A and B are shown apart, each in its own frame.
Chain A
Amino acid sequence: MNAIASHGAAVHVVNCGKTFPDGTQALSPASLDIVAGETLVLLGPSGCGKTTMLRIIAGLETPDAGGRILFDNNDVTATPIEQRHVGMVFQSYALFPNMTVAENIGYGLKIRGVGKAERAARVAEMVTLTNIGGLENRRIDQLSGGQRQRVALARAVAVRPRVLLLDEPLTALDASLRDRLRSELNRLLRELGITAIYVTHDQAEAMELGDRIVVMRKGAIAQIGTPREVYFEPQNRFVAEFVGAANIVEGPVAGGRLTLPGGWLALNDAPDDAAAVAMIRPETISIIAEGDAFLRGVVESASFIGDRQRVIVTGAANRPLTVDAPNRINVRAAERVGLSIAPDAVRVLPKED
């Protein structure tokens, strides 16, 4: 695999903001350091600035004055994309309809003046790597969505870029194909050991692919962390609710206990606070006998969804709690239940201004 593996560059985004000519600020000045070889995911809802950030790193947009982009320690801010030596996968793939699959994959090499024989060898290597054998001489309009996605990836990787940039590469595909390609993409990124920056609005994609995730909101960075950090230790309510399902509860904290309408929860070393906000993931809540519990509520509904059942419990907190319960336990609507939550599963969120 070493023949294919490229030495990825470290990328430094320094104070990059973007204001469009009409005055809208797509990105407020932000800084990011991307380690060589890591996969960094920019995650957020549409309009959060993640694509703008990617396009600034790619060289398709210039940052506002004061912003700088460094690849390793070279300042590339003024370098146009064609000289940055990046690879890019577009949401619409941007494959050239006037070329065959093989010509598409080999285009970057041809531009770089790689000889015919070496080019053919590298294209063949890419074709094997991305599992598109037999399609080399097809035209782009003869390919399925999944095949196009693979060709786009092969084309971007063929030039051994310093940084691989992916702009929602799986969004245009249907759900089952998306899942399959996601794990394939994951394997490929690990194998290549390339620096990759991946933009998505899909938190499952972000979790599976990212070494680190940058959660973005309204043109600013809401949190940077590993998938586990972002999931288990969100720094604010937005991250808690955007990444995975979350119950947000409010109540006073005193003496390491969070008091709620239906009882109380033990916390791990939380300071006293008259109005604390905490997050609890649905799968960390267990349903137990009412008598054994310090927190109680009434089942409002229980829906069986195969691998688990989603139970809504009212009365325990100031708003209904969502509980992911095992699929075999028996709960009925209007039943009184007890809830058990481990102290480390309750995350008190930092104060927001």
Chain B
Amino acid sequence: MRDRLIFAGQLGFTLLVAAFLVVPVILSISAGVTVNYFRGIQSGVTLQWVVQVWGLYKSEIGLSFLIAFATLAVTLVVGVPSAYALHVRGGQLSRVIEEIITLPLAIPGLAIALALLLTYGGFGSFRQSWLFILAGHVVFTMPFMVRSVMAVFASVDIKTLDEGAASLGASPWTRFRNVIVPNAMPGILAGSLMVITLSLGEFNLTWMLHTPLTKTLPVGLADSYASMRLEVASAYTLIFFIMIVPLLVAMQMFADKSQTR
């Protein structure tokens, strides 16, 4: 009896917390398909707002994904070898470099953006291209990749595995491909998940760095909240969800699979 009460209590609490998080999302999404938000859902259900948003913001959505995957590519190509080098080399210098890489976590996005603008603002074509936003996103997400890969290296004694592969005749590059990367996979996947979601949802930095021609999803979302009907902005949220949720689920499944292997 007592166990059942405790169970019911825990279940109730969990549902309450879930509801607290989920209800606003549902309300927002339902607003996106309502004919008139102020009259409520009775006014009818429509996809016209979604179609309108898609028409207006197709390019923002495309750019967001382009930047997210480009950010992922850069953090993978640069971050994984860096994590490996930092781990194997060890020592004082490595720790200092690791701290420097981690620094953007502690600095507000706006400040990073300002620094980037001050430094590179003068390079017109770079400033005006999406690569400028990419640079910001790489700076911002790199620590997540490096840290999560380094955490795995620390737990599997990657240095000895590397020496083992070397003793069997494998060159450094072969070792990196056959032994280092496969064994760092859980960290690489966790890092990738963070990088993609952070990049897709990043607003602070992007808002400072964007130009009218280089807007991403969250910046477009802010625009539409500010300047259009609430239904349009909500439809925007709906599209955002439809895009990111399958992506997250897929990556999570991939990560689970590689861990239970």
Closest to B185 in A: A98
Whether B164 and A87, one on each chain, are in contact in the complex, defined by CB atoms closer than 8 angstroms, is no
Chain B residues in 8 Å Cβ range of A90:
160, 163-164
Mark A85-100 against chain B: 1 for CB-CB distance below 8 A, else 0. 1111010111111100
* Residues A111 and B160 in contact in the complex (CB < 8 Å), given A98-B179, A98-B182: no
Chain B residues in 8 Å Cβ range of A229:
none
Q: With an 8 A cutoff between CB atoms, is A112 at the interface?
A: yes
Closest to B175 in A: A82
* Residues A155 and B179 in contact in the complex (CB < 8 Å), given A94-B160, A97-B156: no
Closest to A165 in B: B167
Q: How far is the CA of A159 from the CA of B166 in the complex (A)?
A: 13
Q: How far is the CA of A81 from the CA of B165 in the complex (A)?
A: 10
Whether A81 and B167, one on each chain, are in contact in the complex, defined by CB atoms closer than 8 angstroms, is yes
* B35 vs chain A, min Cβ distance (A): 55
Q: How far is the CA of A98 from the CA of B156 in the complex (A)?
A: 11
Contact residue among A94, A95, A111 (Cβ-Cβ distance under 8 Å from B170): A111
Q: With an 8 A cutoff between CB atoms, is B168 at the interface?
A: yes
Q: With an 8 A cutoff between CB atoms, is A156 at the interface?
A: yes
Contact residue among A60, A97, A107 (Cβ-Cβ distance under 8 Å from B168): A107
Chain B residues in 8 Å Cβ range of A82:
166-171
Q: With an 8 A cutoff between CB atoms, is B223 at the interface?
A: no
Chain B residues in 8 Å Cβ range of A92:
157, 160
Interface size, chain B (Cβ < 8 Å)? 20
Whether A96 and B166, one on each chain, are in contact in the complex, defined by CB atoms closer than 8 angstroms, is no
Closest to A161 in B: B167
Q: With an 8 A cutoff between CB atoms, is B183 at the interface?
A: yes
Q: With an 8 A cutoff between CB atoms, is A108 at the interface?
A: yes
Q: With an 8 A cutoff between CB atoms, is B252 at the interface?
A: no
Chain B residues in 8 Å Cβ range of A112:
169
Whether A108 and B168, one on each chain, are in contact in the complex, defined by CB atoms closer than 8 angstroms, is yes
Q: With an 8 A cutoff between CB atoms, is B105 at the interface?
A: no
Contact residue among B170, B178, B183 (Cβ-Cβ distance under 8 Å from A97): B183
Mark A184-204 against chain B: 1 for CB-CB distance below 8 A, else 0. 000000000000000000000
Chain A residues in 8 Å Cβ range of B157:
92, 94
Whether B156 and A96, one on each chain, are in contact in the complex, defined by CB atoms closer than 8 angstroms, is no
Whether A58 and B165, one on each chain, are in contact in the complex, defined by CB atoms closer than 8 angstroms, is no
Chain B residues in 8 Å Cβ range of A81:
163, 166-167
Whether B163 and A85, one on each chain, are in contact in the complex, defined by CB atoms closer than 8 angstroms, is no
Whether B174 and A80, one on each chain, are in contact in the complex, defined by CB atoms closer than 8 angstroms, is no
Interface size, chain A (Cβ < 8 Å)? 27
* A93 vs chain B, min Cβ distance (A): 8
Closest to B261 in A: A139
Chain A residues in 8 Å Cβ range of B160:
90, 92, 94
Whether B169 and A159, one on each chain, are in contact in the complex, defined by CB atoms closer than 8 angstroms, is yes
Mark A20-57 against chain B: 1 for CB-CB distance below 8 A, else 0. 00000000000000000000000000000000000000
Q: How far is the CA of A165 from the CA of B170 in the complex (A)?
A: 17
* B158 vs chain A, min Cβ distance (A): 10
Q: How far is the CA of A85 from the CA of B168 in the complex (A)?
A: 8
* B261 vs chain A, min Cβ distance (A): 8
Q: How far is the CA of A83 from the CA of B171 in the complex (A)?
A: 9
Whether B164 and A88, one on each chain, are in contact in the complex, defined by CB atoms closer than 8 angstroms, is yes
Whether B169 and A111, one on each chain, are in contact in the complex, defined by CB atoms closer than 8 angstroms, is yes
Mark B212-250 against chain A: 1 for CB-CB distance below 8 A, else 0. 000000000000000000000000000000000000000
* Residues A155 and B168 in contact in the complex (CB < 8 Å), given A81-B163, A92-B160: yes
Whether B183 and A111, one on each chain, are in contact in the complex, defined by CB atoms closer than 8 angstroms, is no
Whether A96 and B164, one on each chain, are in contact in the complex, defined by CB atoms closer than 8 angstroms, is yes
Q: How far is the CA of A97 from the CA of B156 in the complex (A)?
A: 9
Within 8 A of B (CB), among A126-147: 139
Closest to B167 in A: A88
Q: How far is the CA of A96 from the CA of B185 in the complex (A)?
A: 13
Chain A residues in 8 Å Cβ range of B183:
96-98
Q: How far is the CA of A60 from the CA of B159 in the complex (A)?
A: 11
Whether A96 and B167, one on each chain, are in contact in the complex, defined by CB atoms closer than 8 angstroms, is no
Whether B167 and A58, one on each chain, are in contact in the complex, defined by CB atoms closer than 8 angstroms, is yes
Q: How far is the CA of A88 from the CA of B167 in the complex (A)?
A: 6
* A154 vs chain B, min Cβ distance (A): 12
Q: How far is the CA of A165 from the CA of B167 in the complex (A)?
A: 10
Whether A96 and B169, one on each chain, are in contact in the complex, defined by CB atoms closer than 8 angstroms, is no
Whether A96 and B163, one on each chain, are in contact in the complex, defined by CB atoms closer than 8 angstroms, is no
Q: With an 8 A cutoff between CB atoms, is B26 at the interface?
A: no
Chain A residues in 8 Å Cβ range of B179:
96, 98
Q: With an 8 A cutoff between CB atoms, is B161 at the interface?
A: yes
Within 8 A of B (CB), among A151-203: 155-156, 159, 165
Q: How far is the CA of A229 from the CA of B166 in the complex (A)?
A: 36
Q: How far is the CA of A86 from the CA of B165 in the complex (A)?
A: 11
Chain B residues in 8 Å Cβ range of A96:
161, 164-165, 178-179, 182-183
Q: A94-B164, A108-B169 are in contact. List 10 more A-B contacts (CB 8 A).
A: A82-B168, A83-B169, A86-B167, A90-B163, A96-B161, A96-B164, A107-B170, A111-B169, A112-B169, A159-B168
List residues of chain A with CB under 8 Å of any chain B CB. Answer: 58, 60, 80-83, 85-88, 90, 92-98, 107-108, 111-112, 139, 155-156, 159, 165
The 5 closest A-B pairs by CB, nearest first: A94-B164, A108-B168, A98-B182, A88-B167, A94-B160
